[in-house]
Amino acid sequence: MSTPSGPAADPTLDPALQSWVESANDPASDFPIQNLPLCGFVAERDGHAHAHLGVAIGDQVVDVSMLAEAGAIADDDEEVLDALSDPFWYGVLGVPGMAGRVRPVLQRFLRADTAAGQRARRVRSKALRPISETRFLEPVHVFNYTDFYASVHHATTVGSMFRPENPLLPNYKHIPIGYHGRASSLVVSGTPVRRPWGQQAPPDNEPEAGPSFAPCRMLDYELEVGAVIGVGNRMGEPIAVGEAHRHLLGLCLVNDWSARDIQKWEYQPLGPFLAKNFATTISPFIVTLEALAPFRCPAPARPKGDPCPLAYLVDEGDQAAGGFDITLEVLIRTEKMAAQGLDALRLSRGSFRHMYWTVAQLLTHHASGGCNLQPGDLLASGTVSGPEPESRGCLLELTWQGHGPDGKPRPRKPIDLPTGETRTFLADGDEVIMRGHCVRDGFRRIGFGECRGKVEPART
């Protein structure tokens, strides 16, 4: 699944480009002018709140809707100007290649060395707002959400908890495993997440007691990457894996919160339900495929003895460049840490390049039976875990110590925090912060911003 034109041929990726937004020129910035991730936010005007389009640059958000309405973005491409006038990036969704056409138009406005950029200096006070003071909306309206299980390292670790002799089920290496989630409970980064209630299994030592209904005691996060569909397909028409990139808008960060104790009781035989549908947090920014082009990498080589995927999941281009080299981190900040002025503690650090199934394979498999993907649909990767213990993408894995000589699970090892607190699972008041970035020689570093959520107590 190679990109239509290589990154070296795309002038919007030139590392020498500079912006009149000075913070975007910082080499450590997530949002240089080469990134320009899409977002949506609330704009106040005349006492009313309006949903506006934006792109992040440096530590600021550019109010794209205001500029388009004011005629401050000039271009000969009327379709692009029309696209920038629609809410929630509807003008980009559903139009093949539109995100790539929008990039140079916005760059001309933001570049320090263009006439449009010089004129922009006179309207910067109206065009920009600090990211830290912006109330973000979901970057696109998501009507359908699917969660996959694409990390073999995650699947193996979790499977070993229940099937130590055979962690992976027979189908795992043949078929991308997924389930349909709940789009209505997707929330944007910064939205508090309330601890859910649910049915839980009887105690292991007292099975006759029957199940209970109580607040979740084993609340967890799941570090994931989300793929946003840009162009859909008609019902009954599959998508070839080599064409999958034409249907993708970009990637974002996802925290698929998980109530482990509720899931343990309910997931057989049909899989997650209440353990997942209470909240899923997405980051405010969609990093487009155009911005990610330099950071494509080969799909992981399958270990010797693993089966080859069926033909509909195989494409030479996807094998050569179907992965994304994204460094991912999870941090935690408890209420006690915040009260003492302590920084968040990093829990894990890993890479998206280790996923067993590529994004293209997930998309192709989703549509292979005739499912009609729609613009704005979200496909999440499932927990991103790597081969090292420090790259595990959830507390369920991080605190797992395997089985003892007697074959029974060893006690979980809690995470030690700088306040003297410990965590096996999340406590009320804990804030989980996810970050991602890409680095490659010869290109500007780009980032995904943050995906944040703070746990609120269960309702009484």
Contact 400, 157 (CB under 8 A): yes
What are the beta bridge partners of residue 228? 250, 378
What are the beta bridge partners of residue 282? 188, 254
Separation CA 178–CA 111 (nearest Å):
42
Q: Which two tokens stand for residue 47?
A: 């006492």
**Catalytic: which of 52, 153, 154, 366?**
154
Q: Is the dihedral of CA 107, 112, 118, 121 positive or negative?
A: positive
Q: What is the 3-state secondary structure (H, E, C) of 240-306?
A: CHHHHHHHEEEEEEEECCEEHHHHHHHCCCCCCCCCCCCCEEECCCEEEHHHHHHHEECCCCCCCCC
Separation CA 283–CA 254 (nearest Å):
6
The residues, any chain, with a CB within 8 Å of residue 430's CB and separated by 6 or more, are 332, 333, 334, 335, 423, 454, 455
Burial pattern 17-48, b for ≥16 Cβ within 10 A else e, equals: bbbbbeebbeeebbbbbbbbbbbbbebeeeee
Judged on CB neighbours under 10 Å (0-12, 13-18, 19+), 80 is buried
Cα distances (angstroms) measured from residue 207 to each of 200, 204, 212, 267, 455:
12, 6, 11, 18, 30
Contact 151, 225 (CB under 8 A): no
154 is catalytic: yes
Contact 253, 436 (CB under 8 A): yes
Please name the amino acid found at residue 237. Answer: E
C-alpha torsion angle, residues 113, 115, 119, 121 (rounded to 10): 0
Catalytically active residues are 154
